[in-house]
Chains A and B, each alone.
Chain A
Amino acid sequence: MTNVKNILLVGVGGQGTILASKILSIGLVEAGYDVKMSEVHGMAQRGGSVSTQVRFGKEVFSPIIGIGDADVLVSFEMMEAYRWLEYIKPGGKVIVNDYKIPSVPILMGNQEYPKDIAGKLSAKVDTSVLAAAEIAAKLGNAKAMNIVLLGALIKAMHLTEIDWESVIRRALKPNLAELNILALNAGLNA
């Protein structure tokens, strides 16, 4: 697994993890990497915890990774970062959206949303907390938080040489592309 980089993107169904992974994968393929991407469908779409794995390098075999294998964990939601933390390689990096989505047991008052997740993460691993939803909302639509996070990931992985604007223009409809390019740049500069 030495030359292969492993990225794990997690969040809650409907947050746009799959679109972010898709743009990431297209860019990596065009840069000449072998790429494998794996996602979980089905029950997870109904507000459950979702994950996508992207692996890239000279030659990639397995499409999936196990516990302790991810170089970077990008979490679109606070508590999900904590749930998936065991997938991080010791010495890896966490990029987490400063955004909370309470799950149904929390909404019902049966369980508590864990306190100070950012602190808990930072105590274990190199953690960047990013107010991606706020940044995206200022740009015009909070939903673009996924691409803000993608920008931060690209910066952390030193993949800025790839022409991401062009990838976004081809992957999205023109009316969405402009906003998402702003979101990408906001993430790159965050």
Chain B
Amino acid sequence: MKKLMTGNEAVARGAYEAGVSYAAAYPGTPSTEILENMVLYKDQIISEWATNEKVALETVIGASIAGARTIAAMKHVGVNVAADPLMTFAYTGVNGGMILVSADDPGMHSSQNEQDNRYYATFAKIAMLEPSNSQEAKDMIKIGMEISEAYDTPVLLRMTTRVCHSKTLVEFAERENIQKKPYIKNVQKFVAVPAVAKKLRLNLEKRLKNLEEFSNKTALNHIEWNGKSIGVIAAGVAYQYAKEVFGEQASYLKLGFTYPLPMDKIREFSDQVGTLYIVEELEPFMEDQIRGAGIPCIGKEKIPAIGELNPDILAKALMGVETTALEYDKSQLAERPPVLCAGCPHRGFFHELSKRRNIMITGDIGCYTLGAMSPLNAMDSVICMGASISTGHGAQKIFEKFEENMKVFSVIGDSTFFHTGINSLLNAVYNKSNSVVCILDNRITGMTGHQDNPGTGFTLQGDATNITEIEPLVKAMGVGHVRTINPLNLNEVKESLVWATSQTGPVVLITRWPCVLKKLSNQDKEEFGDYFSKCQVLEDKCTGCKMCIRTGCPALQFNKIDKKVKIDLAQCVGCEVCKQVCTFNAIEKVGKTDDEC
């Protein structure tokens, strides 16, 4: 049976077929759907949302040591969080096979950087596989498990956005009957104290040599002979782009196993071709190694190292082919930036926060990062998951030391708080911070498409579970000033911001209201009620002052001709933020929405 699948769906299918028993991840684009699809195989695979990527990898390491085949999946920056266990698990090796999926995001479609995670394979000295389509993604999970167990190594499966999110045809197979390996206590392997690690360190080098031998032999790295005047070495989706551009004009060394590189096979190939191109996205990862081995080649001197590639970019870089495209005046196009949804509970909070003076707002990763955009402009910095609280703490200390009249507000979502915000808050409490930590709890992981988390009451596999309540948690951590507020009530928000500013010692403000797109649980319905309705503008009262427009709600439109605001009833959910902002009482509530909204 052949089916059109994304690379992410194919990884989940591969896990099923390869006899995987345990998988964990923290959601992050473009990796999220790997674990979401793992749920399809609930009877065979325990799949879990971990609280962060380090935790995900560690749970998977435990499952591997216990004897099962396991997978951890994360976006590229998630591997930074998981790097600590990764570097030492590389020393100990596995019991049950283990694959770490890194989903890189060249072009930064939805990421804060475009780091090339292939370097993690060289850094940790572990085997690496790179699929170029969904079929390969599925097959590489199976072969990756075999490599992992045969060579006693974690395997890095490095994907990119276009492999993760492109649908290509996949042939299914049955699930392999993989016996769980017995757990045998082995201190000399799994207790990485210095005396043991020194021995493991030597094994690591031996293993790399064995893996290089495998790399030279395996069909994952194969030559496709055509004309020999041009030779192309490529891996991942870049291989597909090269095939598109050169077709049968070039011969290919297609690499699926990319660390350690098959240097003998590369030499055999390069000896027989004229011009040798190394086609890879982002950094010259293969090129530097190939050049280092004394093999002349052309790569990043022609092919861009920044952003995504595509066939046109390659054709232009290597063959000088310019694409002909229509030319037209784009200056009349209006921008269409992503925005906080109509009824988003973050809007009211940011609207009030942005009005305060002498403040610095440190932000974090999630939908609420959109608070940085016009017209709210309510963010001064965004670095990485959990950084809002810790960067805010550092900034507050410096403002105080140099007697500058500045208050720092750190803004973080519920899932991001559970991810790494808790550590940072503990640090702020311990080091007597005077910053204000605002936890925007919208009862779900929003940006990646509504994944459950420790605050929602459900697991990835849909089972009811324990709930971690944020307010008692932060109190237990030693925060003396804590308030939970409704972010849609602007007076409550405003008054709480004034209160928070006047306190000494760490303050935590929790805004608690569900994401407007969330499918409400029974518990949500009980707590928040059926609050959906509509608002409309009373035209005779509207003065066209645009105060409501400054909330940035996409349901509000300013009509330049009659100088009035209109509310799009299809989008409005009756959150009443605009109604509270209007000083002319020109917005009124008009009742319930229909069910489909």
Contact = CB atoms under 8 A, between A and B. Distances in A.
B370 interface: yes
Interface stretch (B116-124, B172-180, B330-338, B409-417): B330-338
Interface string B210-241: 00000000000000000000000000010011
Interface string B313-346: 1000000000111101010111111111100000
Interface in B360-383: 367, 370, 375
A114 interface: yes
A54 to B, nearest CB: 9
A178 interface: no
A90 B310 contact: no
A38 B549 contact: no
A107 B2 CA distance: 46
Contact of B560 (A82, A88, A90, A109): A109
Contacts of A1: 244, 311
B347 to A, nearest CB: 12
Contacts of A68: 312, 323-326
Given A26-B4, A69-B312, A79-B334, 18 more contacts: A36-B168, A37-B167, A46-B340, A47-B554, A61-B241, A62-B310, A63-B133, A66-B313, A68-B326, A86-B328, A102-B334, A102-B557, A103-B336, A105-B334, A105-B335, A107-B549, A108-B558, A114-B332
Contacts of A35: 4, 167-169
Nearest to B166: A63
Contact of B328 (A39, A41, A85, A105): A85
A82 to B, nearest CB: 6
Nearest 4 pairs between A and B by C-beta? A42-B110, A66-B312, A68-B325, A63-B166
Contacts, number: 173
Say whether chain B's binding surface is mostly helix, strand, loop, or mixed. loop
A64 B549 contact: no
A13 B341 CA distance: 11
A90 B558 CA distance: 38
Contact of A42 (B109, B243, B325, B332): B109
Interface in A71-96: 79-80, 82-83, 85-88, 90
A58 to B, nearest CB: 13
Contacts of A124: 326, 328
A57 B37 CA distance: 28
A176 interface: no
A62 B339 contact: no
Nearest to B375: A108
A104 B337 contact: yes
B307 to A, nearest CB: 12
B338 A34 contact: no
Nearest to A25: B4
B97 interface: no
A83 B447 CA distance: 25
B328 A120 contact: yes
B246 to A, nearest CB: 10
